[in-house]
Chain A
Amino acid sequence: METSTIMSLLNMVATQTDAGITNETLISASSLIGAGICMGFGAIGPGVGQGYAAGKACEAIGRNPQEAGLLTRTMLIGQAVAESTGIYSLVIALVMLFVIGG
């Protein structure tokens, strides 16, 4: 769809009190909402994955408490790696907020 069509649709919904929608506002607004979508959906995977790792660690410590130190360390390393995609989302969201959107 052309930008002009999107803008005429948005202008149709906007009332008298809203400022007219220009190309610049459309671009910054998309990057701001994109930052929200990026961080929101990007946070799902790491959360589930880290929880799974920690659950397995609890199970393993229940079976073999002597190795609790090793198991906790392994859990934390695994979670740190699983965190990486969350950090990518955070970086991209911050770029969209402060480089494109601002």
Chain B
Amino acid sequence: MIDIEPQVWEMLGRYIGAGLALGLGGLGAAVGMGIAAGQANEGLMRQPDTQGYMLRTMLIGQAVGGSPSIFALVVGLLILFLPSGRLEGAHFAAAMVGAGMSIGLGCFGSGLGCGWPAGKACDGVARNPRHTTSVTSSMVIGQAVAQSPSIFSIVIALMLLFVVTAPDSVLLTFGMFVGAGIAMGAGALGPGIGSGQTASGAVHGTSRWPESAGLILRTMLIGQAVSQTPAIFGMLVSFILLLGVGDVPLGLMGLAVTLGAGISAGFGGIGPGIGSGAVGDAACQATAAKPRLDTLILRTMLIGQAVSQSTAIYALIIGLLLLFVF
């Protein structure tokens, strides 16, 4: 038997947690900003006269789309330098790794998602420079909503850093904290990407048919709200794991139940989030082209999104069965 010192556990947790937070959390925003810059270049190639508007739109899009990576930076620094008073040793390490998972995966999705509307906005400025204002405002609203999954993941990461209390069993603690981090982080990944796709469809539609901007905004907000349900499922399971686990078994069985529930509810939300976002993207563009068909398109969008969420509901059921039946 090797005994690992508590300080070594704490360092291990800090380094892995901060690495996950910044490594994953920075990745999405970086790709997203690159998409925006790429589209700006493509637009300027076609319309060099629009460079004043283009620079402004690109920078606003990148600044808003970059905020998930700043959230990840702040939480990453907290993970590295937070004094370990409340939790100690391996328990502290588990909380840090869980917080890193939550913020890293959650900010990855929103950062990537915010890049597409920024790119489409740059494309739209080149296409239709007179409507720069309506395109930019549609982009900012879409990006702001696409960031809410990353805000959910901050809540869970901060709870792991400042609020939670750990049971004695190390294996159960590890399952609870890392499971909650995976449930929230992976659960926010798909909705972040999906809401961004919906926003990109709306920005594209607004740039081509600025007169239907109001209807497009409505379709976009409904589509984004529905595509964020898997993130809510993930947050629900994280809250249960962090606050409300009643009598789960201790030891290895506790680890299996809690980590399994987190993986199921979290990863199960990725596909439905992305899929519902793709529906919203197509629906926004269709509404833009044919505003008089908006009710019919909205109905089809909602049916399609509801069906594509069914697997997220199965995953939630398996997660809750693991937590409450075993």
Contact = CB atoms under 8 A, between A and B. Distances in A.
Interface of A: 10-15, 17-19, 21, 25-26, 28-30, 32-37, 39-59, 61-63, 65, 68, 71-72, 75-76, 79, 83, 86-87, 89-90, 93-94, 97, 101-102
Interface string B234-266: 000000000000000011110111011111111
A101 B199 CA distance: 43
Given A12-B2, A14-B170, A40 B266 contact: yes
Given A14-B171, A97-B322, A62 B272 contact: no
A69 to B, nearest CB: 11
Contacts of B303: 54, 72, 75-76
Contacts of A42: 268, 311
B318 A97 contact: yes
A44 B267 contact: yes
B286 interface: yes
6 contacts: A33-B256, A47-B273, A50-B307, A63-B286, A86-B311, A90-B318
B296 A49 contact: no
Contacts of A21: 251-252
B271 interface: yes
A44 B273 CA distance: 9
Contact of B271 (A17, A25, A48, A101): A48
B137 to A, nearest CB: 24
Given A36-B318, A42-B311, A49 B275 contact: yes
A37 to B, nearest CB: 5
> Which of A55, A93, A94, A102 is the most central at the interface, judged by chain B CB atoms within 10 Å of its CB?
A55
Given A39-B264, A54-B307, A15 B297 contact: no
Contacts of A34: 260
Contacts of B326: 32, 97, 101-102
B8 interface: no
B214 interface: no
Interface stretch (B41-49, B51-59, B106-114, B277-285): B277-285
A36 B263 contact: yes
A17 B172 CA distance: 11
Given A54-B303, A65-B296, A79-B307, A48 B252 contact: no
B90 interface: yes
A48 to B, nearest CB: 5
Nearest to A29: B256
A39 B90 contact: no
A32 B301 CA distance: 36
Nearest to A15: B170
B162 interface: no
B304 A53 contact: yes
8 interchain residue pairs of minimum CB distance: A51-B275, A54-B304, A47-B271, A36-B260, A62-B286, A40-B267, A55-B282, A47-B272
A11 B2 CA distance: 11
B130 interface: no
B147 interface: no
A76 B307 contact: yes
A63 B286 CA distance: 8
Contacts of B270: 43-44, 47
B309 interface: yes
